[in-house]
Amino acid sequence: MSGVTQVSSSKSFNGFQKVFSHQSDELKCEMKFSIYVPPGASESNKCPVLYWLSGLTCTEQNFIVKSGFQRYASEHNLIVVGPDTSPRGAGVEGEDDDWKLGTGAGFYVDATQPKWAKNYRMFSYVTKELIKVVEDNFNFVLPGVRAISGHSMGGHGALVCSLRSPGLYKSVSAFAPIGSAMNTPVGIRCLTEYLGPDPETWKDYDASQLIAKYNGPPINLIVEQGSADEFSAQGEILIEKLTDACKEASFPIDYRFRDGYDHGYYFVSTFIGDHIKHHATILRS
């Protein structure tokens, strides 16, 4: 496991917003991730971690620049880590041709199709390699005490990573997640490219399908959705499939439907403080 190299560091709310790079074994390329170090974190006062997964087209920068989460992470002494959304510069033919596929659109799956399989392994990167990199390299991290959250494609990723890895995360939340990737236009395209044409193979990366068969410790789940979400109107979110799956499976969900909010970071920044508080409370209980 290679070490990490600091790319940037800026003081924020008495803590530090940092970005690091490392050579990824899973993705076979250099990857960047952000880490917010709250003022109370130290080797003698290890803090829990919230992992944040961003959406289509994003890098590790979008969330740390646009959401304003640092104020709340500082208040609650919560470390927040945010990876990039895909490999960068992998050299896969066509990966930069369309913002809905390839670069910036890893979809948090482990690709099985030969064209993508070597590099596009974001599920294993998030649930295995990134956790090990963080816990091995930062002595202020409380090992094994973690939560996960995300937005849009990243909300889908947060749900899939937690549902497929029972007990790995103690709490989960999502902003406007893709509730059923195998039934949305962008999801169908990406899953077909990454996993092949058989819809049966897509079910392992569809949150609604995974909820129906989940058998693990209870998950503290919050889902936020805006009523003016433009992507929901285009059939790219399908939040109702997620809430229906939770109801049918008696899977507890705190579903918050927010009047007038759209899909963007004004929505995320309005409610991120509630999510930070929720995760910090669960992680320290």
- Measure CA of the first residue to CA of the last residue in the chain; give whole Å: 32
Helices and strands in the chain, H and E counts = 12, 9
Alpha helix positions (H), the chain:
61-66, 70-76, 114-117, 122-124, 130-137, 153-163, 185-195, 199-202, 207-212, 230-233, 239-248, 265-283
Is residue 152 flagged as an active site residue? yes
The tokens for 266 are: 């004004």
Tokens describing residue 212? 């129906």
Q: Which of 84, 229, 232, 279 is catalytic?
A: 229
Q: Which token pair is 97?
A: 């041709």
- Cβ proximity of 130 and 211 under 8 Å: no
Which member of 152, 173, 208, 232 is catalytic? 152
Cβ-based neighbours of 182, under 8 Å, separated by 6 or more: 188, 191, 199, 202, 203, 205, 206, 209
Cβ atoms of 268 and 261 closer than 8 Å:
no
Q: 202 — alpha (psi -120 to 50), left (phi > 0) or beta?
A: alpha
263 catalytic, yes or no? Answer: yes
Tokens of 43: 């080797």
Q: Are 33 and 83 in contact (CB under 8 A)?
A: yes
Q: Of residues 263, 275, 278, 279, which has the active-site annotation? A: 263
Residues noted as catalytic: 152, 229, 263
